[in-house]
Amino acid sequence: MNEKKPGIGRRQLLQGSLALGLTGLLTPKGLWAKDSPTVTLPFERGRRPLVAFPQKRPLMVMTTRPPQLETPFHIFNEDIFTPNDAFFVRWHLANIPQKIDMNGFRLTIRGRVNHPLSLSLHELQTQFEQVEIAAVAQCAGNSRGFFQPRVPGGQWGNGAMGNANWKGIRLRDLLLKAGIEGDAVQVRFDGLDQPVAQATPDLRKSLRLDDALQEEVLIAHSMNGEALPMLNGFPLRLVAPGWYATYWVKMLNDIEVLNEADQNFWTTQAYRLPANPCHCVKPGEALTDTVPIGKMPVRSFITNLEEGRTIPGGESCTIKGIAFDQGYGIDRVLVSVDGGQQWLSARLGKDYGDFSFRPWEAKFIPKPGQAYALQSLAINRIGESQRFGARWNPNGYLRNVIETVNIQAS
């Protein structure tokens, strides 16, 4: 379980192809034994085997084809930047390249541009300014397993998210070099993965041109100082800070500037929200008017104490956690130990930038023998807070209710 995974060095990145051995990307390393360790999430059918895939430590397996791997929650307490080998994995389509020939790999920019471009990774790394940003990638369906009533779709716990330092070039710089035609309205992103069945549409996502031109939107080739793991999109992925990770197209090889709104399935049919201010409906109610999902509402989590933990009574107890939003930045985190009746201010930790996880902590002295319902409530710099009651929508998106962790003092 603890075997050291070979890192992908820069040398391998720049020359030749990158192969992950004979077992391939979709095959877990080692045996998936009946007695593999498991983690059980606190909802129905929440039992997950912990299995290591290539370049990954053992993660909670939701599905293998396509790979959907969840980060065990304690990882978020260990490091404010989620290690690459622990970062969650989500693919829609099972036909993912097992190896990439870096001599042949090109990123193309075409469509409504003056000069279509076709660039190697080396050209991207040498002909453009390299920039770095800390940003949270969170699946739109993160925490879906907690929806009540339950909704179909991947039953994620809270670990379909991660924070990393992404390095690459600005999408803006590339678009300006290609020259945008006057009638351009959207930019569409496509990766190397393909549907297995012809009936499934290829995954492509689009941003409006003005969103695509924001300076924080990157085409990243590195994550926490290393090449992207294959499962997180080697060699390039879109990094759209603040936006749900569905927009962060992996194994990005094609960018198309469009002069009309993208009509592809993944924009018009999938990832839609009820078109009302709360993006919610009554449980069971069907969607009529919908809008595409966009940026992430503010959230926070307690990371150092889990449900059911017993802590020593009569001694100072530190509650630690993380908070994030869509990029306004975290203004305040409040903490309650009595299920939300009284709130105290948490102390914010180091600021790694507006799109990053922000660490926080608070202290209290539990009375011996007493039960505590711990909650955290984050507020961003434009005054938006988490929700006091969970909202419901049929796809299980946008959860940002105040979460509760019940603990007991000894």
Ligand X SMILES: Nc1nc2c(c(=O)[nH]1)N[C@H]1C(S)=C(S)[C@@H](COP(=O)(O)O)O[C@H]1N2
Shortest Å distance, C-beta 345 to ligand X: 32
Q: How many CB atoms lie within 10 A of CB 135?
A: 29
Shortest Å distance, C-beta 200 to ligand X: 11
> Residues 200-229: x/- map of binding to Mo ion (CB under 5 A)?
------------------------------
Residue 220 interacting partner from Mo ion, ligand X, none (CB closer than 5 to 8 Å by kind): none
Q: Does 232 bind ligand X (CB under 6 A)?
A: yes
Residue 175 interacting partner from ligand X, Mo ion, none (CB closer than 5 to 8 Å by kind): none
- Select from 84-92, 107-115, 253-261, 322-330 the region that touches ligand X (CB under 6 A): 84-92
- Distance between CA 255 and CA 253 in Å, rounded? 7
Q: Does 246 bind ligand X (CB under 6 A)?
A: yes
Please name which of 47, 29, 46 lies closest in space to residue 37, comparing C-alpha atoms: 47
Residue 71 interacting partner from Mo ion, ligand X, none (CB closer than 5 to 8 Å by kind): none
Q: Does 246 bind Mo ion (CB under 5 A)?
A: yes
Q: Does 82 bind ligand X (CB under 6 A)?
A: no
Nearer to Mo ion, 102 or 245 (CB): 245
Q: Does 262 bind ligand X (CB under 6 A)?
A: no
Q: Which residues, 6+ apart, have CB-to-CB distance to 45 below 8 Å?
A: 155
Nearer to ligand X, 246 or 385 (CB): 246
Show contacts with Mo ion in window 171-200 (CB under 5 A): none
Q: Does 251 bind ligand X (CB under 6 A)?
A: yes
Q: Does 249 bind Mo ion (CB under 5 A)?
A: no
What's the length of the chain?
Answer: 410
Show contacts with Mo ion in window 53-92 (CB under 5 A): 90
> Residues 111-150: x/- map of binding to Mo ion (CB under 5 A)?
----------------------------x-----------
Residue choice 191, 294, 359, 366 for contact with ligand X (CB under 6 A): 191
- For residue 66, whether the previous peptide bond is cis, meaning omega lies within 30 degrees of 0, is yes
Show contacts with ligand X in window 321-380 (CB under 6 A): none
Q: What amino acid is encoded at 272 in this protein?
A: R
Q: Does 273 bind Mo ion (CB under 5 A)?
A: no
Residue choice 53, 76, 88, 372 for contact with ligand X (CB under 6 A): 88
> Residues 28-67: x/- map of binding to ligand X (CB under 6 A)?
----------------------------------------
Q: Find residue 69's DSSP bridge partners.
A: 61, 89
Contact between 153 and 140 under an 8 Å Cβ cutoff? The reply is: no
- Distance between CA 213 and CA 210 in Å, rounded? 5
Nearer to Mo ion, 68 or 300 (CB): 68
Residue choice 39, 51, 102, 245 for contact with ligand X (CB under 6 A): 245
Residues at the interface with Mo ion (CB under 5 A): 90, 139, 246
Residues at the interface with ligand X (CB under 6 A): 87-93, 137, 139, 191, 193, 203, 232-233, 245-246, 248-251
